[in-house]
Amino acid sequence: MAKKFTLEEFLELLKKYNVEELEGVEIEGDLEIEFEEGAGIDLTALTAAYTLLSEFGNFLYHSNMALSYLQRLSAMLGIPTPFAMPAMPPAPAVPEVAPPIPEVKIPEKLVEAKFEPYKMEYPGTIEEVTLGATKSEGGTRGYTVTVGGEKSLPFYIFDAKQEYLPVIAVDVFDMRIGLAKAVRMHYDDVMDDPAEWAKKAVDKFGADLVTVHLISTDPLLKDTPVNEAVKVLEDVLQAVKCPIIVGGSGNKEKDPKVLAKAAEVCEGERIMLASATLDEWEMIAEAAKKYDHVVLSWTQMDINNQKTLNKYLLKRAEVPRENIIQDTTTAALGYGLDYAYTTMERARIAGLKGDADLAFPISSGTTNAWGAREAWMTESPIEGDSDWGPRELRGPIWEIVTGLTLALAGVDLFMMMHPGACATLKEISNTLGGRIKGGVADPGEWIFMEG
């Protein structure tokens, strides 16, 4: 299984191979790694580390994406970048405090006290699930993505290390569909070509994975035959190097057949099949097992149903534990997010407390946020509401806040759409997960700032 490295770990490793400097090695924008002829590097040592180098390229690529996420946010929101703000004037010096007038009731000194944080340890660990397979693992993906492995609540890195932070899968559909304007503007040029759509999601918007929804198979839409529909997957696998997720149309009769066929044509790639439900789990679980894919276990905001379905997959279908991710359903901010949050939080806490049937990574269909009228309607239909402002700015934040709330409940994998929302969610996950260094010099400056 491929491992992700931090920069420090990688440099440590190079030292082990007596590589002091990366002289003569160029890492170009397109992530090709080239060695200059006659470069003074012991290539034998480097060969051993070659796979690590490509991992490093991948790491560098993703960390660069992260660095620029916020910088690119306003462009992604489709608004012209405002003029650069003038630098903040230096804070006025804190005025000198007048010496206190002695008074009987004011103590001379502070009472000494030591804050002793409550220590918390959970007996359980969330399962680690890896999506995708590289060449050495029998697939063709450029890298793999691992989720799960938590030993405490989300981003409680002071309790326990959180090795894997949430990842983002951008939704791709196999036919043109209706999307909110703020989302459509980013995909309009690729909506007739799923492979190009996937490529744009990865190359331009920094998606960790893509989800290909084969919705054209719906008898009420195009009713694309199963054998024909899955061809799209081959195109997408060609176009991108990331692991992929495959979804159906929501048609109970056809989805199992579509997903079973998808499992077959993607043999070796460790895709995720989305989704097995309490109605239709057997055929999907069988296919996943036969071709070694991951199954998404999906129920509707009921922790008992989630437990039941997970048990069916584990005990009846005998799907290996490391091949299951669960989804207890995402409701949009303002439209049942509290239920979605609490169901996920309960599932995560149960898993950490030792309920093995619920100790799986959690996936969220965060794109559901766009169903909220506040995300897409031009103005409020309610008389008396304060102005809703431009919807181009409301929609993305709706997706961000929906996702962030659920990240705090324990979501490991987000299925999303708006590039600005993806970028912001990634930034806050990486920040709370302790992967972003630095901060502001004086966090108290807002107290004095003029304007």
Partner 1 sequence: MKVKSPLEIYNYLPRTNCGECGYDTCMSFAAHIIDRSAKVLQCKPLVEDAEKNPKAKETLEKLIEITSPEIAEVIIGTGDNAVKIGGEEVLHRHELTFFNPVAFFYDVWDTMDDKDLDERCSKVVEYKKFYVGQFLTLDGIAVRCTSNDPKRYREVAKKVAGYGKPMILVCLDAECMKAALEEVADTKPLIYAATEGNWKDFLKLALDYKVPVTIRAKDLNVLKSIAKTFKEAGVEEIVLDPVTEPLGEGLQGTYERVIQLRRTAILAEDKDVAYPIMITPIAAWLMDADDVTKAYWETVIGSTFIVKYGDIMIFRSLEPYSVMPLVLLNYNIYTDPRTPVQVEAGLKEINNPTSDSPVFITTNFALTYYTVESDLTSGGISCWLLVLDTEGLGVEVSVAGGAFTSGKVKDLIEETGIADKVNHKYLVIPGLAARLAGAIEDDTGWNVLVGPVDSGRIKGWLEKNWPPKPKEE
Query: Segment 413-432, which members bind partner 1 (CB under 8 A)?
Result: 424, 428, 431-432
Q: How many other β-carbons are positioned within 10 Å of the β-carbon of residue 11?
A: 13
Residues 6+ apart with CB under 8 A from 25: 33, 34, 35, 36, 39, 41, 53
297 vs 323, which CB is nearer to partner 1?
Answer: 297
Span 32-71, contacts to partner 1 by CB under 8 A:
70-71
As a whole number of angstroms, the distance between CA 234 and CA 430 comes to: 32
Q: Which amino acid is at 380?
A: S
Does 207 help bind partner 1 (rule: CB under 8 A)?
no
Q: How far is the CB of 204 from partner 1 (least distance, A)?
A: 19
Tokens representing 105? 């009731």
Tokens representing 43? 């290539």
Does 77 help bind partner 1 (rule: CB under 8 A)?
yes
Stretch that binds partner 1, among 46-54, 225-233, 265-273, 345-353 (CB under 8 A): 345-353
Tokens representing 182? 């703020």
Span 252-291, contacts to partner 1 by CB under 8 A:
none
Stretch that binds partner 1, among 26-34, 188-196, 197-205, 331-339 (CB under 8 A): 331-339
Span 153-182, contacts to partner 1 by CB under 8 A:
155-158
Give the x-and-dash track for 80-109 against partner 1 (CB under 8 A).
-xx-xx--x---x-xx-xx-xx-x-xxx--
Q: How far is the CB of 233 from partner 1 (least distance, A)?
A: 27
Q: Which residue in 19, 342, 355, 356 binds partner 1 (CB under 8 A)?
A: 342
Q: Is 289 left (phi over 0), alpha (psi -120 to 50) or beta?
A: alpha
Does 449 help bind partner 1 (rule: CB under 8 A)?
yes
Helices H, strands E: what count in the chain?
Answer: 15, 12
As a whole number of angstroms, the distance between CA 183 and CA 15 comes to: 46
Span 380-399, contacts to partner 1 by CB under 8 A:
380-390, 393-394, 396-398
Cα 38 to Cα 35, 43, 46, 252, distances in angstroms:
9, 10, 14, 61
Q: Which residue has the tokens 């399962």?
A: 127
Q: Which residue in 325, 404, 411, 416 binds partner 1 (CB under 8 A)?
A: 404
Q: How many other β-carbons are positioned within 10 Å of the β-carbon of residue 199?
A: 19
237 vs 397, which CB is nearer to partner 1?
Answer: 397
Q: Which residue in 5, 137, 334, 356 binds partner 1 (CB under 8 A)?
A: 334
Name the 3-class secondary structure at 236: helix
